[in-house]
């Protein structure tokens, strides 16, 4: 069974894969990691090439349309190129909180989406009184299990 290639794994059942020796699982995991790294490098190179090839045209079209960001489209032979330069607004949290505190709460709630979170590490380390106060607002969902095979160092 050691002649299983990475691309063969997708046609096997979980039961068949479970029968693999750990050494084969580790080898396939290493191959997968290398393939993922390679794909990331290829994507980076293709993205850089697309930026080099299309950025000037996209910038000219955005300028023509009177916008600094957003999506522009143009034809290139048989293809339509869609160039997107997304907005990424960031808000100064201290200033925003001060502004919102001065607003009518209903108006502020209309414009702002807030989500409070408690870091699990801090929740676990909280004194019993704080822990008990926070507990009714906490729901624990279980994530997908993962397994990592590491070579034993001797």
pLDDT by residue for the chain (154 residues), tens only, comes to: 568 889 999 999 999 999 999 999 999 999 999 999 999 999 999 999 999 999 999 999 999 999 999 999 999 999 999 999 999 999 999 999 999 999 999 999 999 988 899 999 999 999 999 999 999 999 999 888 787 777 777 7
DSSP assignment of the chain, as one string? -TT--GGGGGGS-HHHHHTS-HHHHHHHHHHHHHHHHHHHHHHHHHHHHHHHHHHHHHHHHHHHTT-SSEEEEEEETTEEEEEEE-------HHHHHHHHHHS-HHHHHHH--------HHHHHHS-HHHHHHHGGG-------------PPP-
Domain coordinates of the chain in residue numbers?
A: 1-87, 90-140
């Amino acid at each position: 069974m050691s002649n299983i290639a990475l691309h063969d794994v997708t046609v096997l059942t979980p039961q068949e894969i479970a029968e693999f020796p750990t050494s084969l699982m580790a080898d396939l995991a290493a191959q997968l990691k290398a393939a993922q790294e390679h794909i990331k490098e290829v994507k980076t190179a293709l993205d850089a090439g697309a930026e080099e090839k299309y950025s000037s045209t996209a910038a000219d079209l955005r300028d023509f349309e009177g916008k600094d960001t957003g999506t522009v489209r143009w034809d290139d032979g048989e293809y339509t190129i869609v160039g997107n330069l997304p907005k990424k607004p960031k808000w100064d949290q201290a200033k925003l909180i001060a502004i919102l505190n001065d607003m009518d709460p209903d108006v502020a709630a209309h414009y702002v989406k807030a989500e409070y979170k408690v870091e699990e590490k801090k929740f676990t380390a909280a004194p019993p009184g704080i822990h008990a106060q926070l507990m009714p607002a906490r729901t624990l969902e279980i994530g997908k299990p993962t397994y990592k095979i590491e070579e034993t160092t001797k």
